[in-house]
Structure 1
Amino acid sequence: MLVNVLRGLCRLLFRVQVTGLENIPQEDRLLIIANHESFLDGLLLGLFLPKRATFVVHTGVLKSIFFRWWLKLTPHLSVDPASPLAMKKVIQRLNAGENVVIFPEGRITLTGALMKVYDGPGFVAAKTGVKILPVRVEGAAQSYFGRLSDAHPRKLFPRVTLKVLPTTEIRIEQHGHHAPLTAKQRRRIAGEAMRNIMQHMLFKTQQSKTLFEALLDTMEKYGAKTHIIEDMNQVEDTYQEVLKRSLALGRIATKVSQPDEVVGVLMPNVTNTLALVLGMTAFKRIPAMLNYTAGADGMRNACIAAKIRTVITSRKFIEAAKLQETVAQMSDLNIVYLEDLRSQFGMLDRAWLMGYALLYPRAAMEPATAEDTAVILFTSGSEGKPKGVVHSHKSILANTHQILAMLDFSPTDKFMMALPLFHAFGFTGALLPLLNGIPLLLFPSPLQYKLIPEVIYDKGCTVFFSTSTFLSNYAKYAHPYDFYKLRVVFAGAEKLNEEVRKIYHEKFGIRILEGYGTTECAPVLAATRRWQTQWNCRQFFRGFNIS
């Protein structure tokens, strides 16, 4: 009776939804694992999962009167993670045929991302050979039962979803070892396998949506008045302002293009460029990000490959980048300047924007699915003429989710993005923070070797995506204190030079993380992680889909 009352109360207050119940097998002896978002997690799993299970709890939890009361209603096993024999009790329960629920992180998340995953649960799964049932807890971290910092939005009763995934197993193989594995090696391999399962769970349970829908969802989660993006105009724009610009620029783009038409975008790293891209996708126009450093022939080849007839750019940018001659050589294309298009945004358009689109943006956008084409990015041309790579909304967002499952970014961070938006690394690297509530600073050119370290210092940036070559040049001019706040420096697009790795460690105390990828992969395919001591191929993202 009491369980039914609690279940009804949680449904009412937290609007709990459970998906994937069909993935729960009939037989018992399951190891049920879940990410740990709040103090509510155990209660929710106990109330809404149909399997009766023993909950593994930290001995410290028993000090709470509330949890001691709740644990009277369900089987539980208190363990001390510091004890080397802690997992032995869990193995005994599983071997006795019981279902066991355990949180592999061992603590509630402080960042909203995956925390450290202990080796113990993975070792238990490998030792017993049981099936693992992953369950994603989503939304509980935003409640006051979570432990997120004040930078994260809080709600009294957020919507909570439990997503049950198909079962999996951990099998320890030799992995190229000639000698039999030691107990320590087996435990480490099992722990790594468990972390991979957890990361895969976070990635696979992301909701399919378009880029513009992702912007709207993020704005609703973090607040329309949250300052999120800044460029060298030194104006911090809120989500509300980004939405307003996106709708206005998207509306303007519809005046020179047709639905599903590929339109070239020749713009610098400024807020309006991202707003234009998002606005175009909202109205089913397909932005093709042109490389303005490729020259007239390179851009013309790109336009031919993507069947581009119209290019949107800015007179101010063309003059600043001294591209007048290059643009003049592209006279066979319809070059449209934003400065001219603004005059076409009349009274009816303003009324539409202020009286309808800003109030009901989901109704104002054109219907689209995550499988639709979102953007065309171009390869570097290292294998000949640049190739156009067609990316769906799903593939771009999937890559951001994969990166977030690997690295613990949060709203307390600030991204510095100097890589151009026409570059796959720069494009995804800019959307990742914008669509996840993380402040972003756009810088117009990665070639400002003296200025960029100063800007990173002045703006207090904590995350920096770049390349080995650029990082080498920044190190030549940077003061050792310029990068004092950087906690993640990520190098991609080319192999990281060992001398660059060494100088950042010795001069700045920074360990550079390295990524591998291609434009076709949106672009990150594999990456080192902050706690890794060496690269190994098992860090390739699982479940990757570029469709």
Structure 2
Amino acid sequence: MAGGIVAALLRLLHRVEVRGIEAARGVGGCVVVATRRSTIDALLIASALPEPPVILGRPDEGAPGWARRALDRFERVGGLRAAVRAARAGRCCLVLTGDRPDLDGVAAVYGPAALIAGAAGVPVLPLHIDGSGATPHALVRWPGTRRFPKIALTVGTPRRLSAPAEARGRARRVALAEGVYDALAATAFAAFDLDRSVFDALLDARRRFGHDTPILEDAERHPMGFGRLVLGSVALGRALARTAARGEVVGVLLPNANAAALTIFGLHAFGRVPAMLNYSMGAETLVSACRTGRIGTIVTSRRFIALGRLDRIAEALGAEARLVYLEDLRKQVGPLDKLWGLAVSRVPWLLRGRTAPADSPAVLLFTSGSEGAPKGVVLSHANILANVGQVGAVVELVPQDRAVDPLPLFHSFGLTAGMLFPLLHGVPVCLYPSPLHYRAVAELVADDKATLLFATDTFLAGYGRAASDGQLSSVRYAVVGAEPVRDGTRRLYRERFGVEILEGYGATETAPVLAVNTPTHSRPGTVGRFLPGIAHRLEPVEGITDGGRLAVSGPNVMHGYYLPEEPGVLRPPAAGWHETGDIVAVDGDGYVRIVGRFKRFAKIAGEMVSLAAVEALAGQLWADESHVALGLPDTRKGERVVLLTTRAGAGRDELAAFARERGMPELMVPKTVLWVDSIPTLGSGKADYPAVRRMAENALSDGAERRTGT
């Protein structure tokens, strides 16, 4: 009786909310599995279930005496066989796992729960506990610990584990453990609140991790705590709200700095939609983007325009829209604005209900323009938060983590993965204004002892070459996307810094991450597995037998497009499915391999040749150089492949011999090889294919002397 009173009091003090408990009713024998975050988790879970569970082991080790005594009223078993017997008898068996599978391995952490469920023939009932890690009883102490934080338990869908019929011994145990891991990841994502705005998520993070906890800084090295970030955002947001109507799209032309983050959050706080303008696009393309998004007001900075030598761009944009300078806005922030910001930073609910709904536009981004005129991509608040939650469900963060984000915020990779993902999970972020300052970024990572670094292969290779030995060794997660990772880059980071690069895949239209390799789930030659909540289908492509054209659906798929030919008209994805335009293959374990862009195949004598594969072949031979392959018209075979490379003296014969040694077909060898000093790139680090095509066509039409093979 006393134990029941203690458990009831504990639930009352922590305002425990149990979601999805109906999944646990009438399920019969099962294995309830959760990741242990605190010493009181077992008591919280056991007292919340419809029927008293049988508890495996001593998950209350280290708990205060009152919690251990309260838990004593539940039956315990010490071994797997006893747990299997209990599950077979129709009881629920509670198993709490460790929280660091990247250190101990998936099989070791989730193996006991998997073995019990498999041997007893019962389903696993995944459960996610949120909030207990903020109590004084937490196993890992995050900033913002409070005596009685709110705790939420989310019960997932019961899942019966399975393994391939041919799997035996360890292979079977690993397959079953993977099923437990996937069930917990799906439940962790389901527990992440998508029914709020991005600014509301910032307020929730402030409440969870503490008002004064440092969370954001930039190259000026002036760190901001959560409270100051909220205060500044609200004060600036009130001033911005006087320049644009609610729901209006407002251009943001700023570098990676605290001011950009304050502007984005400030616009969100008052229901305006930031449109992140890519200042590397050029004046003409930016003007086109403003017309596509119907952008009438642009927030920028005189200092940024001067330092970035963007006077021509500013002049062109000024003729299209009204430029509002931060230097002037700061003078307009009055005492009432600051007082309102201070009030919200201390009492977040004052702004609840004033921000935009979760399903309304949160940001307007523009596609890279690597293959044509940029389209406007509208992402909702729920889209962005879904991707933050999806990545968080498979990437385990710790209080010692720190992130450096040199990727521009006009790129969804830099905005969502680089800034919002760590920040909203309580990990401090340092913004840096240019990914091209290789030595400066490497020094920043070393100074901050950064553990999270998001980049493209081009940028990451630059940091590795500029850094001194060991300077980047603090990095735990070096996540790379936007372009394939070269073997030379992997080798550089492995040998000099002891860092394994984790390759991922995504698109602006998916906010952006779709799949990623992680320390627990990584396979060479792939971009990892799809994140929780993402459905996919592969559509056949004529001439390609290995893979298909990828379409995806999920809560992170965009609100819709603004097309250049239809300014301001939202075109949502058909039935919620986004056609990525990529050809991918998915293996039996769910790992995704990129075959190439649908538009980046050449059809030669009826055969489809992947231009990405041609680039990869050249990259294997000339690992430290850059390469781009193109398909150009050919009168005899329809198309021919032309390779542009920075490798001086590169020859077709050398590449052909290399391909033959590896058993690759002659079609993989480009018809023509051109030497170039550098490959034109966009601000995102991707190759600028229209510029590359013009370069190749000009060289071929001029009969360039540096053409080395025909």
Fold-level similarity (TM above 0.5): yes
C-alpha distance in structure 1 between counterparts of 2:54 and 2:266, whole Å:
50
Q: Deviations over 1:360-405 (max 9, x none)?
A: 4543462432222111121111231111111111111121122222
Q: Give ranges in structure 1 of 5+ residues lacking alignment.
A: 80-86, 175-179
Compared CA separation, residues 290 and 225, structure 1 to 2 (3 A): same
Deviation at 1:260, TM superposition (A): 0.6
Q: Deviations over 1:95-144 (max 9, x none)?
A: 232221112x2479999xx9973223224334443222222222122222
C-alpha distance in structure 2 between counterparts of 1:67 and 1:362, whole Å:
33
C-alpha distance in structure 2 between counterparts of 1:380 and 1:27, whole Å:
49
Residue among 377, 381, 399 paired with 1:389:
377
Alignment partner, residue 38 of structure 1 = 38
Residue among 210, 232, 236 paired with 1:249:
236
Alignment partner, residue 154 of structure 2 = 163
Deviation at 1:358, TM superposition (A): 4.7
Alignment partner, residue 226 of structure 1 = 213
Residue among 473, 481, 485 paired with 2:474:
485
Deviation at 1:274, TM superposition (A): 0.6
Q: Deviations over 1:467-502 (max 9, x none)?
A: 101111122221012113222211111111111001
Alignment partner, residue 82 of structure 1 = none
Alignment partner, residue 145 of structure 2 = 154
Alignment partner, residue 444 of structure 1 = 433
Answer yes or no: is 1:321 the counterpart of 2:308.
Answer: yes
Compared CA separation, residues 39 and 497, structure 1 to 2 (3 A): same
**Conservation of the 8 A alpha-carbon contact between 1:120 and 1:187:** no
**Conservation of the 8 A alpha-carbon contact between 1:54 and 1:76:** yes
C-alpha distance in structure 1 between counterparts of 2:62 and 2:423, whole Å:
40
Answer yes or no: is 1:540 the counterpart of 2:530.
Answer: yes
**Conservation of the 8 A alpha-carbon contact between 2:31 and 2:92:** yes
Alignment partner, residue 12 of structure 2 = 12
Answer yes or no: is 1:416 the counterpart of 2:396.
Answer: no
C-alpha distance in structure 1 between counterparts of 2:213 and 2:477, whole Å:
23
Compared CA separation, residues 250 and 506, structure 1 to 2 (3 A): same
C-alpha distance in structure 2 between counterparts of 1:77 and 1:348, whole Å:
61
Compared CA separation, residues 243 and 172, structure 1 to 2 (3 A): same
Alignment partner, residue 184 of structure 2 = 198
Residue among 152, 173, 176 paired with 1:187:
173
Compared CA separation, residues 16 and 315, structure 1 to 2 (3 A): same
Alignment partner, residue 121 of structure 1 = 113
Bigger shift: residues 366-375 or 391-400:
366-375
Residue among 434, 450, 467 paired with 1:461:
450
Deviation at 1:21, TM superposition (A): 2.2
Alignment partner, residue 177 of structure 1 = none
**Conservation of the 8 A alpha-carbon contact between 1:134 and 1:201:** yes
SS of the residue aligned with 2:438? Answer: coil
C-alpha distance in structure 2 between counterparts of 1:66 and 1:120, whole Å:
28
Letter in 2 for 1:163: T
SS of the residue aligned with 2:312? Answer: helix
Alignment partner, residue 380 of structure 1 = 368
Answer yes or no: is 1:277 the counterpart of 2:277.
Answer: no
**Conservation of the 8 A alpha-carbon contact between 1:118 and 1:191:** yes
**Conservation of the 8 A alpha-carbon contact between 2:249 and 2:294:** yes
Residues paired across the two proteins, number: 530
Compared CA separation, residues 44 and 447, structure 1 to 2 (3 A): same
Letter in 2 for 1:416: V
Bigger shift: residues 512-521 or 13-22:
13-22
**Conservation of the 8 A alpha-carbon contact between 1:245 and 1:272:** no
Deviation at 1:76, TM superposition (A): 1.4
Deviation at 1:311, TM superposition (A): 1.2
Larger radius of gyration: 2
Q: Deviations over 1:486-527 (max 9, x none)?
A: 222111111111110011101111111111111111111111
Compared CA separation, residues 344 and 9, structure 1 to 2 (3 A): closer
Deviation at 1:55, TM superposition (A): 0.9
Residue among 516, 519, 528 paired with 1:527:
516
Compared CA separation, residues 326 and 315, structure 1 to 2 (3 A): same
Alignment partner, residue 359 of structure 2 = 371
C-alpha distance in structure 2 between counterparts of 1:337 and 1:68, whole Å:
60
C-alpha distance in structure 1 between counterparts of 2:197 and 2:207, whole Å:
15
Q: Deviations over 1:17-69 (max 9, x none)?
A: 22222222324112211221112122122222111221111499599977774
C-alpha distance in structure 2 between counterparts of 1:117 and 1:385, whole Å:
49
Letter in 2 for 1:320: L
Letter in 2 for 1:170: L
Compared CA separation, residues 537 and 499, structure 1 to 2 (3 A): closer
**Conservation of the 8 A alpha-carbon contact between 1:419 and 1:446:** yes
Deviation at 1:406, TM superposition (A): 1.5
C-alpha distance in structure 2 between counterparts of 1:27 and 1:207, whole Å:
26
Bigger shift: residues 203-212 or 5-14:
5-14
C-alpha distance in structure 2 between counterparts of 1:474 and 1:171, whole Å:
43
Q: Deviations over 1:146-190 (max 9, x none)?
A: 2113x433222322222222322222245xxxxx22222121111
**Conservation of the 8 A alpha-carbon contact between 2:40 and 2:67:** no
Answer yes or no: is 1:90 the counterpart of 2:83.
Answer: yes
C-alpha distance in structure 2 between counterparts of 1:65 and 1:228, whole Å:
36
Letter in 2 for 1:15: R
C-alpha distance in structure 2 between counterparts of 1:499 and 1:6, whole Å:
59
C-alpha distance in structure 2 between counterparts of 1:169 and 1:163, whole Å:
18
Alignment partner, residue 198 of structure 2 = 211
Compared CA separation, residues 378 and 26, structure 1 to 2 (3 A): same
Letter in 2 for 1:171: S
CA-based RMSD of the aligned residues comes to 2.7
Q: If the length of structure 1 is used for normalisation, what is the TM-score?
A: 0.90
Name whichever structure is richer in strand by fraction.
Answer: 2
SS of the residue aligned with 2:94? Answer: strand
Alignment partner, residue 337 of structure 1 = 325
SS of the residue aligned with 1:343? Answer: helix
Compared CA separation, residues 47 and 9, structure 1 to 2 (3 A): same
**Conservation of the 8 A alpha-carbon contact between 1:376 and 1:390:** yes
Q: Give ranges in structure 2 of 5+ residues lacking alignment.
A: 535-554, 558-710
Compared CA separation, residues 117 and 396, structure 1 to 2 (3 A): farther
Letter in 1 for 2:276: M
**Conservation of the 8 A alpha-carbon contact between 1:517 and 1:523:** yes
SS of the residue aligned with 2:153? Answer: strand
**Conservation of the 8 A alpha-carbon contact between 1:123 and 1:187:** yes
Alignment partner, residue 25 of structure 2 = 25
Deviation at 1:192, TM superposition (A): 1.1
Alignment partner, residue 551 of structure 2 = none
**Conservation of the 8 A alpha-carbon contact between 1:411 and 1:439:** no
Letter in 1 for 2:200: E
C-alpha distance in structure 2 between counterparts of 1:62 and 1:471, whole Å:
43
C-alpha distance in structure 2 between counterparts of 1:119 and 1:139, whole Å:
25
Higher RCO (CA 8 Å, separation ≥ 6 residues): 1
